[in-house]
Structure 1
């Protein structure tokens, strides 16, 4: 009876029957892939000031499991979360410190940076939002039970920042097994930086930001688990070439692509088979890939 039922179902679905099991055909299996992970870029930065705690919380409100951020270092050695290497675009630094052009992050102390308004540029309702320290940011992500894609920003400006970040991650509990295994990825545009992180902590998942030539991918696979390119630079063939390789943890290399903020682009890159989509608007992308 069960075999006859399975056979009838196979006639409708075009599947292969083994015993009483219905298995997909090779063609059906080839067309399937899991929905990509959605990562809130600098937090939910379409709706809140980027890289602030408010953006982390907004991502949480939108049910974004992952947030992405950027880490730099102040003049006196504090780790802070900000994207640009200068403070002028996202703070009122030109008003508070008018004589300090070009307002590089590395030329200001942590105390000075803590005085800056990092929210008003986005909207009056965000006035008084501050640039968080990495410690503050890690605490908030942890409190929200979120996961973190951390970018080491411009490491060439901050010698030794990889070791300093690893020390901070350890102090805040982010190098515990559960965090390292499921909740933390470290990425950078610097291959040297990612090689350093991999050498120091080979258990941490790492990603290279960029689109290396296919011929160069095997070299990257020695020290990164992900190739994370701009969505404008990839194709289904490129994603397939990345997926054909195994990274240092002997698992298939992944592709997280950026920065995707509209439904059409989200559906396009999801069709390529990317593993993650980095977006300012996680709600828009989720709705697009769920359709």
Structure 2
């Protein structure tokens, strides 16, 4: 009997115990938007590294193609605002005017450069008026390839002891298909070529277009359980560019409805909406009642990762701004903003400042 008491903590007739408490809900994921782009020039290995050091769960590269078909990380294929290309005399004649997704742009485009040529350029801060401190890093960092980003994620995983997922976005999918540089084929090949992304790390593949995600789902089926497809959504009145090309008059607002979410759930695992589609602000900048977007998404088991949460006055709702110019940082304001969205039930979020995003998640009390 003594042994029974010691082994089972009691062998009495009354074995009733309170059931264990339910596990806490998973914490919202902090996605380092273009890395830690509030603190380093965006889409550089240094920005991604800083994001992980500051507590990001995931790093996010936007992908475009070089002339020789290599995927590199830039927010846009037009790179005059994020590199020193305009000051490199040998590339002066590469300046051209193109129509990208219906908009006419003049500048220098990644698809007109080989990878070797792009590696001669250096990254610069995209919004120096808002992030003047980042200009100290101008011309120090290269444009990274997807392969280099995967290698960095693997290295950071070993250093931190946690798997660092990546969240690549295919930019201007229809455009790159039209010039025979389709992004999706090269993305799948690169992800499968490294065992880290092929089987170990979660990979979220995102796009503002629809047809390419549907094609990826059809191609992949259920063969890559660690890859998740995410339908990005711009403001409600806008349309996916492939809808425009196909003559489909639906807008992102249509995709946010119950019926729209049901369709998305047939090919994707989550949605990435513009944050104001979840909680808008009134004329005074005060938060309004949350929309039905999160509820509609969760009803069909889609995760919700809105964008983009930034720490500077320029991006803050009026009640959360602090005294000072647009470039003034307001971490407390960003935390308050994120807590409102966590209350609305989001599953993660894109932020330019993962350190503050991490504080918001860790301090949040449902």
TM-score by length of structure 1 reads 0.83
**Deviation larger for 224-233 or 63-72:** 63-72
Q: Does structure 1 residue 173 correspond to structure 2 residue 245?
A: no
Q: Counterpart of 2:167 in 1: which secondary structure?
A: strand
Give yes or no for contact 1:236–1:273 (8 Å, CA) kept in 2. no
What aligned pairs does 1:151-230 form with structure 2 within 5 A after superposition? 151-159=169-177, 160-179=182-201, 183-202=202-221, 203=224, 204-210=227-233, 211=252, 212-214=255-257, 215-230=259-274
Secondary structure of the corresponding residue to residue 94 of structure 2: coil
1:267 aligns to 2:350 (yes or no): no
Pick from 92, 96, 106 the counterpart of residue 98 of structure 1: 92
User: Structure 1 residue runs of 4+, over 4 Å off?
Assistant: none
Unaligned runs of 5+ in 1: 1-18, 246-251
| Corresponding position of 1:12 | none
Q: For residues 173-225 of structure 1, give each alpha carbon's deviation from its aligned partner in whole angstroms, at most 9, with x where no partner exists.
A: 2453323xxx2111111111111221222332100001523131111110000
How many residue pairs get aligned? The number is 259
Residue in structure 1 matching 2:297, options 234, 239, 242? 242
Aligned-residue Cα RMSD (Å) equals 2.0
Match of 1:135 in 2: 147
The 2-side partners of 1:240 and 1:33 are apart by 17
Relative to structure 1, the CA distance from residue 172 to residue 22 in structure 2 (aligned partners, 3 Å threshold; closer, same or farther) is closer
C-alpha distance in 2, partners of 1:83/1:216? 27
In the aligned structure 1, how far is the partner of 2:296 from the partner of 2:66?
39
Q: How many Å separate the matches in 2 of 1:178 and 1:150?
A: 16
Correspondence 1:51 to 2:43? yes
TM-score normalised per structure 2: 0.67
- What residue in structure 2 maps to residue 253 of structure 1? 302
For 2:236, the equivalent position in structure 1 comes to none
Deviations 1:78-125 (A, max 9, x none): 111111120101101111123322211212221211111114663233
Q: Map Cα deviations across residues 20-49 of structure 1 (whole Å, 9 max, x no partner).
A: 31677xxxx9xx843211110011111111
